[in-house]
Structure formats: C-alpha cells, structure tokens
Structure 1
C-alpha cells in the first residue's frame, strides 16, 4: 500500500463493513505516502501555522490607514502617560499595529513551545495503544506502523492547534491580551481588527478605548523587557505543568471502539473538549497554583499601572472593569485552547493581586514598588497577595537596612577626618596590606623566624 499499489475500496468495505469514499481513500493514501517519503518524525508545526493563517485571513479584513494613524497617536500618548505611572523604562522598538495573520506568525513559536509536551503525549499514546491492542501474531507486522501512528497523532494535534490559534487571532486585541508573553521579548502589538467586538455595548469612544488598550499593552511589554528573567519564568512554569500531562488511554480506546470515519468531527470534538486528558495529578495542581499566582501578580501590576496612567480618561473605570471581566471569562477560542492543552491561562486571583499592588504603591511609592521586579527573589508571591502589609514591612526593612549600612560608612569617614586621619581608599588599603604580606614573606625564614644575616 505504501509503495504505491492500488487499493480496492470495495475490498475495504467487505473487510471492515464500512462504506468507503474512493476519492477520500485516494486522498488519505496520498497524505500517508507523503509522510513516509518525507521521513518526518514529530509534530508538523508548519501545518499548525498554515491552519491558523487560513483562519486568521478568512475574514478578509485588513488594517486601514486611518486605523494605523489613530493607533499610532494612542500609542504615543500612552508612552507619555506611562512615564508618570511607572519608573520602568520604555521599549527599545516601536509598538506595532498588527493584522490577525501577523499576530499568528509572531506568536506561533510560543504556542508551539507550550503545547509540544501535550502533542508528544498524544502521539505516544496512539503508538502505545496500537502496540498493546494488536494481536500477538500481528505485532511484528505492525512494528513499522508505530512511526505512522506518531505522525498521524502529531498531524491531528497540529491541525487542531492551528484551528484554535487561528480562532484566537479573531478575539485578541493586543499582544499581551492572553496573559502570557506570546510576542517576542520587548515587543508590543495592537490588533485593530478586533476592536469592534471589544467596545460593543460600552458607549465609549474608540479614541478612549484605543488609548486604554495601548497603555495596558505597553505596560505589559515594558514589564517583560525590564524583568528579562520573567518571560523564561512564565514559560518554564507552563511547560512544567504541561510535561505532567498524559493521555487517558481508556478514553482513547473507547473513542476508537465507536469511531466512525464518516464522522471525523467526533474526534475533533474529543480533542477540543479535553475528553482525552485525565484529571490533574497532585503535582500538576501545585504547578497550576504557582502559575495562577504568578500570572495574577503580573496582571495585577499591569492593572494598577494602567489605572494610574489612564486616570485622565473620563470612562477609565468602565474600561478597566470590562477588561477585568473579559480577562476572567476568556473567549470561545481560549476555552478551546484550555481544553486542548489542559491549561487555564486566566488568573483567578487577579483582583486580590491588584489590591496588593495598590497597597504597596500607596505605602512605599512607585519607585520602590517597581524595584520588586529587579530580581526574581524580590517578586511577590502567593502569601504577599494574602497579606500585603507584610510585603510593605519587608520592603521598608530592606530599604532601611541598606540606608543604615550607607550611614555607618559615612559616620566612619567623618570620624577619621575629625581625628586628623587621611580618608583611606579601600583599594589602597588592600594594596598596602598585600605589600606588607609580601615583605613579611621575604623577611621571614622557615617557621616565621627572621632570616639569618638580615
């Protein structure tokens, strides 16, 4: 069959009892032969991107010159207002006004990284099920089919991922809209094609919406550019969770037992509903909790900074509440992604995290608040969300300790000057000490005794 021989659909029908469409059989044979001839072994990610691009371009919408001008103006104003709300510096590259297709192309590498553990698990499960269910006398013959099953499973997952990401491109309004850093580090993007759905029913001018979205997107991008370790921190926590995912082989076997090739949508629905993903393990629940708290801390900071920067907008509170509700609920495509990968990207403690950042800002100021992103060890955790006052006390204690050390050094210098001593340079002291040690080494003989004759 793989060598190019002809397959008789009537014979297939007689053996399987299923009606076979000759055209469909010919297409399937062509795809299988292509897989074997290519020698590919893995997930065809180019297929996922191709599927996503087709869906993103299906609407035929493009960004008009008027939209680009309006958003460029909003982004410029957002940069100025953010300069008053945070000490974290601006971006090195100008923000982009993107089409849906451009967003797919820019974000697909991250979707691939996040979903690869699940895709591999599905391919492995199909291969394992084939080996376990095959009769003993057929196992030797089916050894070569393992590669085919991995390719089939990988292609199936890639197709579904591409459809989900493609539909997601019709919902997101900015690069950071899904909560994780899907854009390249330090990049910000706005998708004007999806603005209409975001602002429907709000009775708010598009200029206000554009400025609010621009401020939020730039705050998100600034944070990930400043805290260079943060992007890797988020991605690694997501992949840590995903690597623990296995496939429910019982559900897979049940689906195979009742699968009708004439109704392929049943398999698609099983993948998107999460029916093949088992319940979370204890380790996965702990990893998910850590990830939710991390995303909540990030989004809470963005919320507070955005609120301060957009205080001049007449309907800023209404826009912020709309964003929060939208972030909490997610869209249909994002829900499908959660079922496909088994991961909810919506932080459940967003409001509590935002309250924590507000308390910190009011207590210690913007500069001390933003300094918490300088190092991973400074970043607030789940306990800080529960008890912001303890975080404020820790910040003040750390700053007080640094100030006390600096004050001690100044006092010591003043005391030496009053005693008539010359201010010493630590480098000179070190050099002098080294010279003295060297001289002592020359003068002393073995055992530390003076060398005879000197």
Structure 2
C-alpha cells in the first residue's frame, strides 16, 4: 500500500511547531505529574458518586504526558482511523501509468504523503499546546486517559487560580469521559461503528475529491479575506451521506461533552472550593482569543466543539432537572436511547421519547 500520509513527518512537524511549555524545575514538574495522577483517582470516586455510573470494564491508569507524547499518541490513533480510508481510496482509484515509468495512485499523486504529513503535523502542533486532557478512544479497548501536564500548568498560571483546585476540576471532566466509556461498554463500539459508517460513505471518485479540495482552499482564502465568514473546512469535505453520519456523531459528542461539563461543575462546589471562580475565569479565557487564533479554531472545527460544550451542558441540565440523574442515565441504555440531533435543542422531546416511554 502506498503511504499517503507520512506519519513520521507529521510527528516531527508537530514537534517543530510545538512550544516547550512553561518553565518549571524538575522537582516541580514531578510534583505536578504525581498530583495529577493522585487527583485522577480522587476524581473517579466523586464522578461515580455524583453520576451513579462506575466502570464495568478494566481500564489502564491515567497517562500524564508532555506535548510531544500527546502528539505521538494521537498519531497512533489517527493511523488506526485513517489507514482503512486510505486503503478504500486506493482500491477505488487504481494506479495509473506515470510518464516517468511505473504507476502512481491518482489521489496519492495529487496530495502527496509528505505534504499531507506536514498538514497533519501542523494541526497537531496547534492542538498540542491547547489540550488539557483527552480520553483517547481509538488506540485500543476501552481507550486511555491522557492529561497534558505542561498545558494544565500553563493555564492555571495564566488564570491565577488555586493549582490543586484547578487540577482536580480538569481531572473531573476527563474522568467523566473515561467513566462514560467504561461504565457503558457498548458506547465505544457504537462510536467506532459511526466512524466506520463515515468511511463507508466517503465519495471515492477522484474528481469529486479534487473538487472538495479546491472548495476547501477557497474557503480558507475567503476566511482570510473575510474574518466574519462562517465557513469551516469540515463543512466542505463531506458527501451528503457523510453529513447524515456527522449529524449523529455531533449529537453523540455534544452529549458526552455536555455531560462532562455538567459533572465537573456539579461535583465542584463540594470538592473544589474555588470552582465558581475557576469557571468564570476559564470561560473568559475561552472568549478572549486573538483574531488569528479564532480563525484557526473556526477552520479546524474547534468552535463547533465549544458550542457542543454549551449546548450539551444545557441539555443534560434540563433533563436532570426534569427526571433526576437516574432518569437521565436511561440515556446510556442503548444506541436507540441516545439523543437525536433535534432533541439536543429540545430536551423535553427526549424525555417524552425515552423516559416517558419507559414509564
């Protein structure tokens, strides 16, 4: 199989673009790592008590990583997701004779593994200094929890918040994600099946792919010329069949992100005394992006992620207020009880369909 993404180049590109992180002594760095590990265990107990969910399958311990380690972990996950797509594209696009002799795959020739590797590395380099934590579901069952120590340290310093409170607050969010996937064992398989459905819906016609690439470049150019443009590159790389899958995936991700936001603040007052101050300063920081940062975030779809946090939190809060946490937890019964995209905006509709039907 011709390599369409130079993964090694992606890692090295990200490493070149990634800043080293805040200045800290070796002793202090070790203290941060040890405390994040300890607070992850503390958070797990609080999340279980608050949500009524607890792990039903074993999971590996938290990995406290630096920025390069986070990049390498995500490259491993991306390879597992993208390699099947690459195989499908190459199978549907037989190699054509090259004027220089031999055969060159149509799509591989058009894009180039090194160019794609640089693009992937550039995106990961941007993310590597932003992500505080992540539950990485692609690398194996049931997934693994990552906390990015230099980013946690950098943000807590910029916000001027209590370090232990902030670290526990972050751990509560990420541990909630781990709890979702370990307390609901079918959730990971369902998520991966939707990703596979997205792959199966990929338009493999080389001309159609080329058109979407050109449209993506046009969107980038328009966004640079017009900062108020609402275009996102992610909106331009989907076939109609893929959009249906993306709608379901968006609803699922809005649920899991909103649930984590709801839990981290709901647990907070009892165990994180400064949670209100942390939330206020954190939200202010989210809104105080420089124009270039906002542009990149919109183009990369991160603004969609921010909306998922807010919309998902509102959905979870509304359902819990109406039927309690036990009623809300019926959401984890099966894929059929997950909220539809329209129900995210109309929690009463979900309650009527799922909880009402059960009653």
**Where does residue 304 of structure 1 map in the other structure?**
262
Question: How many angstroms apart in 2 are the aligned matches of 1:141 and 1:153?
Answer: 17
Question: How many angstroms apart in 1 are the aligned matches of 2:232 and 2:342?
Answer: 32
1:142, CA displacement in angstroms?
4.7
Kept in 2, the 8 Å contact 1:52–1:163? The answer is: yes
Please state whether the residue corresponding to 1:346 is helix, strand or coil: helix
Tell me the TM-score normalized by structure 1: 0.59
2:314 maps to which of 345, 349, 355: 355
1:317 maps to which of 276, 282, 288: 276
Give the number of aligned pairs.
Answer: 330
1:198 paired with 2:158, answer: no
Question: How many angstroms apart in 2 are the aligned matches of 1:78 and 1:276?
Answer: 34
Question: How many angstroms apart in 1 are the aligned matches of 2:302 and 2:36?
Answer: 32
**Where does residue 3 of structure 2 map in the other structure?**
42
Matches within 5 A, 1:38-187: 41-51=2-12, 54-55=15-16, 59=20, 64-90=29-55, 92-115=59-82, 141-142=99-100, 144=102, 146-147=104-105, 150=108, 153-176=112-135, 181=137, 184=140, 185-187=142-144
**Where does residue 222 of structure 2 map in the other structure?**
none
Question: Higher mean Cα deviation, 314-323 or 184-193?
Answer: 314-323
1:203, CA displacement in angstroms?
2.8
Kept in 2, the 8 Å contact 1:384–1:390? The answer is: yes
Question: In 2 relative to 1, CA 201–163 (structure 1 residues): closer, same or farther, beyond 3 Å?
Answer: closer
**Where does residue 224 of structure 2 map in the other structure?**
none
Question: How many angstroms apart in 2 are the aligned matches of 1:369 and 1:147?
Answer: 50
**Where does residue 179 of structure 2 map in the other structure?**
222
Question: In 2 relative to 1, CA 57–288 (structure 1 residues): closer, same or farther, beyond 3 Å?
Answer: closer
Structure showing greater Rg: 1
Matches within 5 A, 1:337-356: 346=305, 348-356=307-315
Question: How many angstroms apart in 2 are the aligned matches of 1:223 and 1:334?
Answer: 30
CA deviation map 1:330-353 (0-9, x unaligned): 99799759857x897626354233
Question: How many angstroms apart in 1 are the aligned matches of 2:44 and 2:213?
Answer: 51
CA RMSD of superposed structures (Å): 4.4
Please state whether the residue corresponding to 1:64 is helix, strand or coil: helix
Question: In 2 relative to 1, CA 140–310 (structure 1 residues): closer, same or farther, beyond 3 Å?
Answer: closer
Question: How many angstroms apart in 2 are the aligned matches of 1:237 and 1:325?
Answer: 34
CA deviation map 1:419-441 (0-9, x unaligned): xxxxxxxxxxxxxxxxxxxxxxx
Question: In 2 relative to 1, CA 121–154 (structure 1 residues): closer, same or farther, beyond 3 Å?
Answer: farther
1:175, CA displacement in angstroms?
1.5
Kept in 1, the 8 Å contact 2:63–2:146? The answer is: yes
1:326, CA displacement in angstroms?
7.0
CA deviation map 1:372-421 (0-9, x unaligned): 21311111222322322233344443443xxxxxxxxxxxxxxxxxxxxx
1:160, CA displacement in angstroms?
2.0
Kept in 2, the 8 Å contact 1:327–1:346? The answer is: no
Kept in 1, the 8 Å contact 2:77–2:138? The answer is: yes
Report 1 or 2 for greater relative contact order, CA contacts < 8 Å, sequence distance ≥ 6: 2
